[in-house]
Amino acid sequence: MVRGRSLPSCGAPTGYIELVGKTWQRVLAVGLAFVVAITFTFVFAFRAGRRARHMRGEDEPIQEWMSVPFIAHSHHVPAATLFQAIGVQPRLPRDRRSVRRIASDLHRPTPDLMAQLQRALDEAAHQPPRP
Amino acid sequence: MNDQILAAVSKYGAPALFGIVTIAAVGVPLPITLLLVVVGSMVSQGAVDLWWAIGAAGAGSILGDQAGYAIGRWGGPAAIARLSALFGKHTGLEAMEAKAKAWGGPGIYITRWLLGPLGPWINLASGTARYPWHRFLLWDVLGELTAAVLYISLGRFFSDRVTALGAVLGDLTWAIAALLAAIVLGYQLWAHLRRAR
């Protein structure tokens, strides 16, 4: 079968072969896209399920954008404990500065401050609960 | 970029939220679901007022969506005419308009809160297809308020797990988008095979 040419001698309409060829190309493309879409559905659904299962057991990691009260809330620790651990007097009424901003104000590398906060959280987790 | 946005909302609260969701609704890809969940956590900590948060998120999103619709309405047909001339094909603006009217409402609503990444494209398409503005506004307001209430409430409820929750919701959004695409493509294949038999 010659693609790209019509066959006037056999009485087929002009462009028939091209039309059939293009139709099958289109079906193949839609079929491949369908397989890709199904694969993506399962991959993302599986990832969502796995993350949801682990959500309860894992601690929220400290990130640069978080404020100290936000970190304290996520780990159920008083904010004052964390401020004390990093040697910062919190601004009143609520210190909303991010960890990165505090590190910048203290002229310290952000990863160092994050590590110090993590150590304070670890210590707080090992202390017995208050009566 | 994401860190700066989250830090800005954490520091400045509702006004920053309003500005960021407006920009995102026009089409700049920003992590809005995670942002709303974080705001929900801030609400539970007393750092942001609940009604201000819902109001800022809803109003900002609606404003951005309306801008996207306006761009499509007044810039879309001209862009389509240019593309048609470039590729030598008739685009069928009338057919597009009829389809938008038939499927527009639920499509607009769903892409406000369940399939957020598609929202800006639907805004442009609705404007280009001359979907009636008052109906677009109605579905847009309903959808954006659903998004704000849903994600901020989830953030309040899971206030100590916001980044993990944001990741779960992100994956779920893509899973649903892929599933919808699979349904549409599967239907096309099935219809073709039925015709071929």
pLDDT, tens digit only, all 131 positions of chain A? 334 434 444 444 444 445 555 677 888 888 999 999 999 999 999 999 999 988 877 778 899 999 999 999 999 999 999 999 999 998 877 888 999 999 999 999 999 999 999 999 999 888 766 55
Please state, in angstroms and rounded to a whole number, the distance separating the CA atoms of residues A7 and A63: 68
Are residues B160 and A74, on separate chains, in Cβ contact within 8 Å? yes
Q: Tokens 């397989």 identify what position?
A: A35
Minimum distance, in Å, between the CA of residue B111 and any CA atom of chain A: 18
Angle at which helix B133-157 crosses helix B32-44, to 10 degrees, equals 50
One-character DSSP codes across B109-140: HHHHHTSGGGHHHHHHHHHHTT--HHHHHHHH
Please state, in angstroms and rounded to a whole number, the distance separating the CA atoms of residues B104 and B87: 27
Check if the interface score ipTM surpasses 0.95: no
Q: Can you give the pLDDT at residue A55?
A: 82
Q: Can you give the pLDDT at residue B124?
A: 87
Contact B179, A20 (CB under 8 A): no
Q: b vs e for B74-87, b when ≥16 Cβ sit within 10 Å of the residue's Cβ? A: eebbeebeeeeeee
Whole-model pTM: value is 0.82
Residue B123 Cα to chain centre, angstroms: 8
Pick the closest to residue B163 from B33, B25, B52, B14 (CA basis): B33
Q: Can you give the pLDDT at residue A16?
A: 46
Q: Can you give the pLDDT at residue A6?
A: 40
A98 contacts chain B (CB < 8 A): yes
Mutate to test the interface with B, among A28, A42, A73, A75 (most CBs of B within 10 A): A73
Please state, in angstroms and rounded to a whole number, the distance separating the CA atoms of residues B180 and B137: 24
Are residues A65 and B7, on separate chains, in Cβ contact within 8 Å? yes
Are residues B4 and A66, on separate chains, in Cβ contact within 8 Å? no
Please state, in angstroms and rounded to a whole number, the distance separating the CA atoms of residues B113 and B150: 8
Please state, in angstroms and rounded to a whole number, the distance separating the CA atoms of residues B115 and B32: 12
Minimum distance, in Å, between the CA of residue B135 and any CA atom of chain A: 31
Q: Can you give the pLDDT at residue A67?
A: 92
**First CA to last CA across chain A, in angstroms?**
86
Q: Can you give the pLDDT at residue A125?
A: 81
**Backbone torsions φ then ψ of A98, nearest 5 degrees:** -75, 165
Cα separation values, A124 from A10, A105, B42, Å: 87, 25, 22
The nearest alpha carbon in chain B to A48 belongs to B168
Are residues B189 and A40, on separate chains, in Cβ contact within 8 Å? no
**Ordered per-residue pLDDT tens for chain B, 197 residues:** 688 899 999 889 999 999 999 999 988 889 999 999 999 999 999 989 999 999 999 999 999 999 999 998 888 777 766 766 665 555 556 666 666 666 688 989 999 998 888 888 888 888 888 889 999 999 999 999 999 999 999 999 999 899 899 999 999 999 999 999 999 999 988 988 888 77
Q: Can you give the pLDDT at residue B195?
A: 82
Q: Which two three-digit tokens encode residue A14?
A: 């002009």
